[in-house]
Amino acid sequence: MTIFRIALAASAVFTLASCSSMGSMDPNQLMQSGQLATQALSLSDSDVRTLSDKSCVQLDKENQIAPANSPYTQRLNKISKQLGDNINGVPVNYKVYMTKDVNAWAMANGCVRVYSGLMDLMNDDEVRGVVGHEMGHVALGHTKKAMQVAYATSAARSVAASAGGVVGNLSASQLGDLSEKFVNAQFSQSQESAADDYSFDTQKKKGYNPAGLVTAFQKLASIDGGKSSMLDSHPSSPARAKHIQDRIASGK
């Protein structure tokens, strides 16, 4: 679940400079890397959506997508109708990846992907809570920052720069690197909490019980002793579950 490592250009420069591939760079090369990081963190909404479009297409090629008649797709179609067909006016495109991995993510262009492993673990209320959380990251602008950081730390940045534009003509491997960094990036604690609240508020507004968020956290915490990739660097599951339980109890 996706996902924010750094918020300032200076932090991005530090991250880039600490990469092993930059250990032999001279000062001029390192300065150029810093300039690329600054450029990445100033990507426009249009740039981020274009990168998201390309990245989502690449990930769809790399993964097995559940067909239209699959029980997984039918379940997600039902859940998607409950959550809505757009995020801040951006149309949402829902698909299921057939994999045992337990994960879900969303991009700024409305690309929402849920893994069959997560759907096997959770009931519909829990999946709705998790997907609503991922949509919250988009609605609140977190995924834009995550894509900026993924761009700044991936092979895509140098190719895009040499091509004279932010996006450039990226190869499948470069898009794969960018996509992997986006999917595996991390959000800050405040962003995770805000996305939890977004999911809670969305479900309440649409007349659905948000209690699935609580049990979803509990199930994620049980995976490999709480070492699920969806919980890496996130606030603790018990704390998040309690926060939602408190909101349910208060009715607010």
- Which of 62, 126, 134, 180 is catalytic? The answer is 134
Specify the pLDDT at position 117.
Answer: 97
Specify the pLDDT at position 130.
Answer: 96
Nearest of 83, 134, 144 to residue 109 by alpha carbon? 144
Whether 62 is catalytic is no
* Mutual angle of helices 212-222 and 189-205, in 10-degree steps: 140
Whichever domain contains 130, its CATH number is 3.30.2010.10
For residue 209, tell me if it sits in a domain. Answer: no
Q: Could you give the C-alpha distances from 220 to 91, 167, 201, 212, 244, in angstroms and in order?
A: 28, 35, 21, 12, 15
For residue 13, tell me if it sits in a domain. Answer: yes
Q: CA-to-CA distance for 132 and 23, rounded, in angstroms? A: 41
For residue 245, tell me if it sits in a domain. Answer: no
For residue 47, tell me if it sits in a domain. Answer: yes
For residue 235, tell me if it sits in a domain. Answer: no
Specify the pLDDT at position 32.
Answer: 42
Dihedral sign of CA atoms 23, 26, 29, 35 in order = positive
How do strand 111-115 and strand 93-97 relate by DSSP bridges? parallel
H/E run at residue 245: helix 237-250
* Mutual angle of helices 212-222 and 237-250, in 10-degree steps: 170
Q: CA-to-CA distance for 82 and 74, rounded, in angstroms? A: 13
Specify the pLDDT at position 30.
Answer: 35
Q: How many domains does the chain have?
A: 1
For residue 119, tell me if it sits in a domain. Answer: yes
Specify the pLDDT at position 31.
Answer: 35
For residue 95, tell me if it sits in a domain. Answer: yes
Residue reference for tokens 């450039």: 168
Specify the pLDDT at position 223.
Answer: 78
Specify the pLDDT at position 23.
Answer: 38
Domain that holds residue 112: 9-187
For residue 224, tell me if it sits in a domain. Answer: no
Specify the pLDDT at position 210.
Answer: 93
Specify the pLDDT at position 26.
Answer: 41
Specify the pLDDT at position 195.
Answer: 95
- Report, as ranges of residue numbers, the positions in the chain whose pLDDT lies below 70: 1-42, 157-168, 224-235
Specify the pLDDT at position 132.
Answer: 97
